[in-house]
Amino acid sequence: MTAVWVAAALVLIGAIAWARCVRSPRPPPLPEAWRAMVRALPQACCVPDTLQARYEQRAEAFLRDKRFVGCNGLVVSDQMRVTVAGFAALLSLRDEATNFPAVRSVLLYPAAFLVRHDEPDEFGLVDDEPVEQIGESWQGDRIVLSWEDVEAALAGDAVNVAIHELAHQLDDEQPWSDGAPAMADYTRWSAVMQREYERLRRHRRPPVLDPYGAESPGEFFGVVSEAFFQRPVELRRHHAELYALLSDYYRLDPATHPPQWLPAA
């Protein structure tokens, strides 16, 4: 791996959410209605028949093993649980994929939430002003999501905060968080990702990728994973090599079977 992908790390720790969270009970045994919901996830239309059973099993495992917590008064519904589990399953279709072992909880807020970071920035300064976030990924613990923004992704928004934060968790399964999830051979991954990362950093108005991806290799992996599921046709057109890399990694081809978005709620 090249130095930049090894050295640049994303650390999202020390966050304090300004809200009171209430544990929701574990979901009941999964009914057929759940299977219908997980199959109905717009982004799941690209799951081939050969991977359909695995997709449902991975979603079921996520639902079984993770605790969902409603925050700021949000009552977590089955649809919310199944939607997040479906996104987790979409990122876990590789033979060797694990069930996000570090994630114990999924915290859901009704909408964007305020967070105070007490970690010093690159200049050693601590800014104690709360900032608004739509999602967070805590290493070795949890992901935090704004449900309003998860719903926007179901309706076709270019941002998919669930995919983004779960991609960070895949990244964090390595000892280093550098935009490179676990895999046997990094030769192709490092070459393509570094080339595309540098391209995004140079581009003032990128046509597909969120400029936020230029923040670090870790954020780049989150942003390109979002684009892969939310704007697959455009990603393939403008970044064919990157699209092919992600298609091989996630074992999906969403540009060939693009999502039919749900009407916005």
List residues binding Zn ion (CB under 5 A): 219, 222
CB of 196 or CB of 219, closer to Zn ion: 219
CB of 153 to Zn ion, least distance (A): 15
CB of 166 or CB of 242, closer to Zn ion: 166
CB of 201 to Zn ion, least distance (A): 16
Instruction: Answer for the pair 94, 40: CB distance below 8 angstroms, yes or no.
Output: no
CB of 222 or CB of 254, closer to Zn ion: 222
CB of 60 or CB of 210, closer to Zn ion: 210
CB neighbour class for 192 (10 Å; exposed up to 12, middle 13-18, buried from 19): middle
Encode burial over 44-64: b for 16+ CB neighbours within 10 A, e otherwise: bebbeeebeebbbebbbbbbe
- 3-class state of residue 155 by DSSP: coil
Instruction: Answer for the pair 200, 207: CB distance below 8 angstroms, yes or no.
Output: no
CB of 86 or CB of 222, closer to Zn ion: 222
CB of 143 to Zn ion, least distance (A): 11
CB of 55 or CB of 109, closer to Zn ion: 109
Instruction: State CA 138 to chain mean position distance.
Output: 12
CB of 13 to Zn ion, least distance (A): 13
Distances (CA, A) of 83 to 149, 156, 189: 12, 14, 29
CB of 184 to Zn ion, least distance (A): 25
Q: Which residue is nearest to Zn ion (CB)?
A: 222
Q: Parallel, antiparallel, or unpaired for β 105-109 and 67-71?
A: parallel
CB of 57 to Zn ion, least distance (A): 28
Here the tokens at position 114 are 């305020």
